[in-house]
Structure 1
Amino acid sequence: MHSIEEKRVYGDREGAITAYVASATGVVRVRVAGDTVGEFGLCERRPARDVATTDEAVAIATDEDVRVARLEDGEDTETFAETGFGPAVAVGADGGELFAAAPDGRIARRPAGTEEWTDLEGEGVAAVRAIDGDLVGTDDGVYRVRDGGLDHAGLTDVRDVSAAGVPLAATAEGLYKLGNGWMPIREGPFDAVSADPRSEPGRLARAYAIAGEEIYGYAGDDEWRAIEDASEPIVDVGYGETTYAVTEAGTFLAAGEDGWRPHPIGVREVTGLAVR
């Protein structure tokens, strides 16, 4: 297995982008160009429950606080700082705005260009599982951020949400899309779902959903197909020139012409992936 501190030759390759992997060990920065994985290493040593990025920052949810590192052009290091939110179980982004959820269900927003958190109006919600765009997935369903508050949008036992293109929800009962209400796509428990953030409103480009050890990819025309698994349970999926994923055991995956290309990155108990 490669050392987590390893420096590899592709770190400065033209067109390279950065992926951040949250884990119980800390946050790993991974440089990728297409399906080639280059330099990787720990950029934050605190255990992270979740990770999200905007154009200007990367945010992580930890047991102590939401920590944010500003991303400056030309800089190859991140310095994470406390934000005063307090303990967090989930973070998400909508454009340049950050959202975070506390263990008691409190949800707050941090608009772009500010350093203050503002609680969303209303009482706290049930245990928050995921935040993406203006969607919040919780034990008692999906909530949508509207006018500084939260509106319950249906479903129950939601494990993950995806806001890009067509809103999607992974639940204990199945995979759903939002159309004329929540419409079932596939039955059975789903753990995670993610669509390419560059999807046009009302359409899906690339999207994947995870059900246990199975992974399904969007094939167009409302069809989802089972695809080759990665031999380890996948916990999250991200998008760049190709599709990226990360397993709970700490393997970073890049989709190539011959399937998933695995790259161990030296951490365990992975909780999330964000690609910038």
Structure 2
Amino acid sequence: MSYDLTIDEKRVYAERTGADEVLIAAEEGVVVASLSDDRVGEFGLDHRAAARDVAAAGNRRAVATDEDVLVGDYDPTDFGPAVAVGFHDGALLAAGPGGRVARLDDGWTTLGGVETPRAIDGGMVAAESGVHRVDGDGLRNVGLGGVHDVVGRGLPLAATDRGLYRLGNGWMDELDGAFRVVASEAPRSSGSREADSRIHAVGEAGVFAREAVDDWRAVDVPSDTPVDVGYTEAATVAVTETGTLLADAGDGWRARELGVTGVQRLAVQA
């Protein structure tokens, strides 16, 4: 079976099987893979350009590249080089390598600057200079430093050089050590509770899953340490820098080599 499908063909495949689409930002470009439970179906390189980040919200998607922020069918937006993208309150946010953070309205509205931006989630920006929160048409630094990743929806979490933190009455310790990735399942209904959400963190000591406040368990993965984690309704999904896509629907991890390198991020489009 050929893996050289157009994006339209992949969407038909996903609708027919009930599969989700996983978007992977890699050195070679954006890979799109269909995932049904923990089984990887069709996949292929959908857009050729070094991708630094990818985000999805409903039927919307955005890609940060060395040239521009791309949306939809990889249409340019005239942002310029970008290292991080994310959606917040229906709007697209992006960060450039120089630290500029902006929101796409009719055009790009600059919200402020940060030092070495690394990730955007739910209106929060992870940067060397700390966690920055979108506040109206500006940014507000809400603490920490050396931040590599952030969860800005539901229970705010930050992965830093010194540890993993959650935001309550200030930033509180969750795990010690250096962390590079933190991910949380977005609520799928108004009745969802934070305690029921899947939450993972990846650091120098490996992969961890959160059971409750201050209660984490180590997770074994059959590959290199993941560089990002995401969620479908049925499975936890992860990807490694060397292009191994992992999925666990409760019966252990399945792995699929995607044939790309320099993977940065993933996003799930359900």
- The normalised TM-score by structure 1 is 0.88
Which letter does structure 1 place at the counterpart of 2:165? Y
What is the aligned partner in structure 2 of residue 106 from structure 1?
100
Partner Cα distance (2:205, 2:21) in 1: 26
Q: Name which of 110, 118, 125 aligns with 1:119.
A: 110
What is the aligned partner in structure 2 of residue 251 from structure 1?
244
Q: Is the 8 A contact 1:18 1:31 kept in 2?
A: yes
Which letter does structure 1 place at the counterpart of 2:220? E
Partner Cα distance (2:161, 2:187) in 1: 27
Is 132-141 or 222-231 further displaced after alignment? 222-231
Structure 1 unaligned spans of 5+: 70-78
Partner Cα distance (2:257, 2:29) in 1: 15
Partner Cα distance (1:146, 1:177) in 2: 19
Partner Cα distance (2:59, 2:27) in 1: 24
RMSD (Å) for aligned C-alpha atoms: 2.2
Is the helix fraction higher in 1 or 2?
2
> How many residues are paired up?
261
What is the aligned partner in structure 1 of residue 90 from structure 2?
96
- The normalised TM-score by structure 2 is 0.90
Matches within 5 A, 1:21-170: 21-69=24-72, 79-111=73-105, 114=106, 116-120=107-111, 122=112, 124-170=113-159
What is the aligned partner in structure 2 of residue 262 from structure 1?
255
Partner Cα distance (1:49, 1:248) in 2: 12
What is the aligned partner in structure 2 of residue 230 from structure 1?
222
Partner Cα distance (1:36, 1:106) in 2: 39
Runs of 4 or more above 2 Å deviation: 2-8, 10-14, 199-204
Change (3 A) 1:3 1:156: farther
Partner Cα distance (1:269, 1:153) in 2: 31
Change (3 A) 1:127 1:4: farther
Shift of 1:192: 0.4
Change (3 A) 1:97 1:204: farther
Q: Is the 8 A contact 2:201 2:208 kept in 1?
A: yes
Indicate the SS of the match to 1:191: strand
Is 25-34 or 252-261 further displaced after alignment? 252-261
Structure 2 unaligned spans of 5+: none
